[in-house]
Structure 1
């Protein structure tokens, strides 16, 4: 399958067998032209958009079969649609309806990607630096079916979490204590945790939120505690159990990077001032040690990690003054570790939602490094996950 024609003019979708691709053997699933740049291919699905009578119609092909119109609920009138995820044999799509301006509704499909049901209304959106739409929805790496979303409710923006690809959503719970160990007395929904969910377009910054496939359950994000998401008094939070409990780790914004597949975390302060320190954690953010990475403070422009999830080497680049050349500081963390990890350094971790282990019909058990282990996992380590089927309940069935 391929898109046939200039991207900025008129495009046709044509099919043919590679062995005998002649003009006579080309198939055209659509009688006219498809909308330019509307072809999206992800996993088992292919999507195109065709405008008919001034209204967009969205089509899906499952396992490269015939295209079928995507069927949203009866009274849905979309003017824009973005495919968010195609994992777990389901399509998650963000749809902006005729009466929405800065929000989108989330829909989840059946296996074929044809029939959609509403999952969450009024998810916030914004325009990116390149003019692209950025939807406040974050798919957590390493945990299938887990999303965080910022929803607009009564003119307030709040952060919600789901573990079953949008079927059930809950407000994020605030940490039990603040950075100084003082109790945080919160009553939902007036006091909960709200996160900034944008990933960085700048390749040398971690953005507002980060997670890794190699470190399931660990999420680092900036945000605030209160009745809604705030752009002021932003602090840093971490979870090591996939969002069930959170801890505050810094009272200012930091870039946090994963070393050795998540076995260690590095934090560098976001500041317009020159700095010479970074912070390092070996226990999933519970404790942080302060290190000097340069003798003279520098204005940090970005951080670059060595290729590979297992990296223990990073480069900080910046400048001593606004008129100086770039300065590069290469940091090798290998000397901090004195041994390789052994089987005794790992533990099993059960994914759950506030104590409920059955998520999307299965119990998932991960093998991950113990927070107390200070060792190098290296290239040989890979995440292992086993699953066990749960007994079905009424909530596991759909109409």
Structure 2
């Protein structure tokens, strides 16, 4: 299994439980590590003592080590840069380099026959390597950009390689097809002779490499170890391997494991439990944020709970006795404590909802006795619910709001030892259907005027208003529907207001006449006009135009000096404005 990221990638080695090889980025350098206990302890890879020519390699830990490429092949017919096999435990073949860090230069091929304890260099250049005969043989082909007609076969876990020819014409090898775990020993090379040629398939029967089927005398035992420690994942594991150089086939029913004897549990078999951190001494100590004396919230007075000692046995570790009893969790009496860590949230983590929809709240208590702790939830709209104990709550609480607004929802947990509370502010909105800008028709220049945006339906505290005056590009933003503004320019001034609420944006615009002075009179109308008042803006505008024209004829004033504003509602009333002539002053 290969897992890749920018700073860390790892491979779980097949055939040996708990064995993992990983690359970790530290101080801008990528370094390869190995663990035999699922990550509890890590160590650098021991570099080979000699190169492929037999010369000594001058590389000493920790400043210099072996580093492996852990990359998954994008081609399903070529192997990954590191290869392992369940039926060949302990054998690891990988591309890598020797030095202070992982590099893509001076790479070669390396193999370990003892599960990563020691390594040997098998090729100076990158090769693709496949397992044959259930891991009893290795096949290698160069990854060079030039075509080849040779392959390499090893029957002794990479110590010696036989060079064989598989094609009379050099072939660009694109991949190898083979049927795993079957008796027919056929492999198929596919590729092309040149960049412009058709695909070529070359089948090879490698059964002639093995003279016979292996017998008991062809095998030897191999003991899994970790730098001399024979107990790995809590067991002494013994495997059967074919003797180097023996040309016999392993067979389909071949079993590698001879015995697995449990070991006595030591500190090496345990990892730090949740809330604990490994110290330099190797022991696990509580993290600064973890309270070891705090039981689970389900722990009721008079009951008992399993309290961690700071350790837990590594998963799949099979050790027995020893420190197992000492480091295992201990049963302790539950102590009565005040509730703490009360958390209140909506089930979807949203703090806004549409009016009339069901809202589901979640309440969780981190610490405290849930059986003896009561819960009271106030939804902020005059409705609340209570529970005699938090354990009766279940997974959630559902509530529906009947009016829009911003509501403070509060949950309070309490028992005989104390209490804790948690709150959130929930926005309940509904779509705006209409907006009307209520503004005076005429105002005095330099004098403050009041403007009000009226919404249907009303949106108390949940709407946002945007105001533009004349040709301003930046709006005035308010949470209230009323503003005061002082107009400084005489003449016609435009006011635009937009409202945003419940995912809806609406707009209204008014033209306001600004003068240095004016006169106004209130007008009333005969009662029979009410029979014709439909209470709509268009009717009021039509009545205003008729009244304006009539008064202009009767009074002798030009129409551009007269304004009539008919008020909404009943009985019908209006305000009549007489404006000064242009350039006229007081």
TM-score for both structures, normalised by structure 2: 0.45
1:374 to 234, 244, 247: 247
Contact 2:12–2:19 (Cα < 8 Å) also in 1? yes
Alignment of 1:171-320 (within 5 A): 171-308=44-181, 312-320=185-193
Q: Secondary structure at the match of 1:230?
A: coil
Contact 2:40–2:270 (Cα < 8 Å) also in 1? no
Q: CA deviation at 1:396?
A: 3.3
Instruction: State the partner residue of 2:256.
Output: 383
Q: Secondary structure at the match of 1:347?
A: strand
| 2:102 is the alignment partner of 1:102 | no
Distance 1:349 1:302, change over 3 A: same
RMSD: 1.8
| 2:225 is the alignment partner of 1:321 | no
| 2:70 is the alignment partner of 1:166 | no
| 2:238 is the alignment partner of 1:334 | no
Q: Secondary structure at the match of 1:334?
A: helix
Q: Secondary structure at the match of 1:344?
A: helix
Instruction: State the partner residue of 1:141.
Output: 14
Counterpart CA distance in 2 for 1:307 and 1:170 is: 33
Contact 1:347–1:370 (Cα < 8 Å) also in 2? yes
- Count of residues paired in the alignment: 272
Counterpart CA distance in 2 for 1:374 and 1:336 is: 7
Contact 1:261–1:310 (Cα < 8 Å) also in 2? no
Q: Secondary structure at the match of 2:249?
A: coil
Contact 2:37–2:269 (Cα < 8 Å) also in 1? no
What are structure 2's unaligned runs of at least 5 residues?
272-309, 311-586
Contact 1:259–1:311 (Cα < 8 Å) also in 2? no
Counterpart CA distance in 2 for 1:239 and 1:217 is: 7
Provide, for residues 15-58 of structure 1, a one-character-per-residue CA deviation record: whole Å limited to 9, x for no partner. Answer: xxxxxxxxxxxxxxxxxxxxxxxxxxxxxxxxxxxxxxxxxxxx
Counterpart CA distance in 1 for 2:184 and 2:85 is: 13
Larger radius of gyration: 2
Distance 1:394 1:180, change over 3 A: same
Counterpart CA distance in 2 for 1:383 and 1:202 is: 30
Runs of 4+ in structure 1 over 4 Å off: none
Counterpart CA distance in 1 for 2:34 and 2:269 is: 19
Q: Secondary structure at the match of 1:193?
A: strand
Counterpart CA distance in 1 for 2:77 and 2:266 is: 46
TM-score for both structures, normalised by structure 1: 0.65
Distance 1:339 1:348, change over 3 A: same
Provide, for residues 219-266 of structure 1, a one-character-per-residue CA deviation record: whole Å limited to 9, x for no partner. Answer: 100000000000111100001000000000001100001110111111
Q: CA deviation at 1:357?
A: 0.6
Provide, for residues 174-207 of structure 1, a one-character-per-residue CA deviation record: whole Å limited to 9, x for no partner. Answer: 0011111111121212210000011323111012
What are structure 1's unaligned runs of at least 5 residues?
1-83, 86-93, 104-122, 124-135
Q: Secondary structure at the match of 1:349?
A: strand
Q: Secondary structure at the match of 1:318?
A: strand
- Once structures 1 and 2 are overlaid, which stretch shifts more, 360-369 or 277-286? 360-369
Distance 1:310 1:328, change over 3 A: same
Instruction: State the partner residue of 2:398.
Output: none
Q: CA deviation at 1:163?
A: 0.5
| 2:229 is the alignment partner of 1:351 | no
Q: CA deviation at 1:385?
A: 4.2
Counterpart CA distance in 1 for 2:180 and 2:136 is: 16
Q: CA deviation at 1:288?
A: 0.6
Contact 2:209–2:247 (Cα < 8 Å) also in 1? no
Counterpart CA distance in 1 for 2:100 and 2:111 is: 19
Q: CA deviation at 1:391?
A: 2.1
Q: Secondary structure at the match of 2:130?
A: strand
Contact 2:237–2:257 (Cα < 8 Å) also in 1? no
Distance 1:358 1:309, change over 3 A: farther
Counterpart CA distance in 1 for 2:269 and 2:139 is: 40
Q: CA deviation at 1:359?
A: 1.6
Distance 1:153 1:197, change over 3 A: same
Q: CA deviation at 1:342?
A: 0.2
Q: CA deviation at 1:140?
A: 0.4
Q: CA deviation at 1:309?
A: 6.0
Counterpart CA distance in 1 for 2:100 and 2:17 is: 28
